[in-house]
Amino acid sequence: MEMLTFSHVEKHFGEKKVLQDASFSVPEHTIFGFIGKNGAGKTTAMKLILGLLACDSGEILVNGFPVRYGNTRTNRFIGYLPDVPEFYPYMTPTEYLHFCGEVAGMPAKECKARAKELLRLVGLEKERGRIKGFSRGMKQRLGIAQALFGRPKLLICDEPTSALDPAGRKELLDILAAAKEQSAVLFSTHILSDVEHICDKVAFLHEGRVALHGSLEKIRRLRKSTSMEIEMERPEDAKTLLAAFPYLQQKGRTHLQQEGTGMASGLSMQCGWQKGNAHLLLEDTARLPEILHFLAGQELPIQRMERKEPTLEDLFLEVIAK
């Protein structure tokens, strides 16, 4: 059954169109990755689902019930982690979770047990102090705990890993993977390797539309062609090679490495240019023997030769370049 259906939704702020005819759906027991560049409208879409913003047109269903703007009954099914979570600073994390439980009408005894369990899960069990002194990452951890507290059928997390340390990020991915047992999970992120690790379905949001939508395998299959990257030791050799095989591409823009952050890739690009750009890209791998033959004949030294699997990053860059 579909836990969340988002159909033909339009939303604009004044003149600015943020969502136009956006449609996707999240089935039960699925982790749904929500991707898009800054300002694509991910947070806006989530707020629409929670009834915190009004749709201009279209319909959103949560667990089969329509979402209305403002006071909406559908929020009973939802656990939400905002992008910048804010809690009452004068409470301790335990008190805050008790408050969450009481709000949801949970018996006091169960509340206590669940609060303890969740604080351990998110690694805040030793925090005795009030939320006032919490760092952003700690607030995000508490945010996960409160979102999970009522065992929601739909868990919505807005960039849940944005402030977490590397260990915390891994823990969070495990938590989300475990949450799949009882909930549908919708989460937005900019870290595409996370999406590849745990998501079942993905949607790319671009210019107000869902540019790509489907299971991870299906999306991977869209770009099946693997390519070959060749790096010569000397830039001159790269030129020779390029002259002999015009279908080779000189790599102007380095593709992001899978683990690479924006900074690191920027760095490697710089190095490439300094070296006079000895990088070449072969898209049609069937022609590799030809080139190898040539290289062997001319005794040109190779620095590196690598088979490149298409990554979500490539796809992402391709989608936003369209």
Binding region for ligand ATP (CB under 6 A): 13, 18, 36, 38-44, 83
DSSP 8-state symbol, 108: H
In the complex, the smallest distance separating the C-beta of residue 83 from Mg ion, rounded to whole angstroms, is 5
Judged by beta carbon distances under 5 to 8 A according to partner kind, the member of another protein, ligand ATP, Mg ion, none in contact with residue 80 is another protein
- In terms of CB distance, is 91 or 288 closer to another protein? 91
Give CA–CA dist 53/110, Å, rounded: 33
Cβ 84 vs Cβ 47: under 8 Å: no
The piece of 14-22, 37-45, 161-169, 277-285 that touches Mg ion (CB under 5 A) is: 37-45
How many residues are recorded in the chain? 322
Distance spanning both ends of the chain, measured CA to CA? 33
* CB 40 to ligand ATP: min, Å: 4
- Residue 161 is a binding residue for Mg ion (CB under 5 A): no
Give least dist CB 215 to ligand ATP, A: 22
Query: Given the rule CB under 8 A, which residues bind another protein?
Result: 50, 52-53, 69-71, 73-80, 82, 84-88, 90-91, 95, 99-100, 102-104, 143, 146-147, 149-150
Q: Smaller CB distance to ligand ATP: residue 86 or 181?
A: 86
Give the H/E segment covering residue 23: strand 16-27
Q: What is the DSSP letter of 314?
A: H
Of these, 5, 43, 189, 254, which contacts Mg ion (CB under 5 A)? 43
Which CB sits closer to Mg ion, 5 or 43? 43
What is each CA distance from 134 to 94, 99, 100, 127, 175, in whole angstroms?
Answer: 13, 18, 18, 9, 21
Task: Give 43 or 94: the residue with its C-beta nearer to ligand ATP.
Answer: 43
Under 8 Å between Cβ of 63 and 77: yes
Smaller CB distance to Mg ion: residue 43 or 146?
A: 43
**CA neighbor of 147 nearest in space, from 202, 248, 78:** 78
Which CA distances in Å does 236 have to 28, 140, 256?
57, 51, 25
277 lies in the site for Mg ion, by CB under 5 A: no
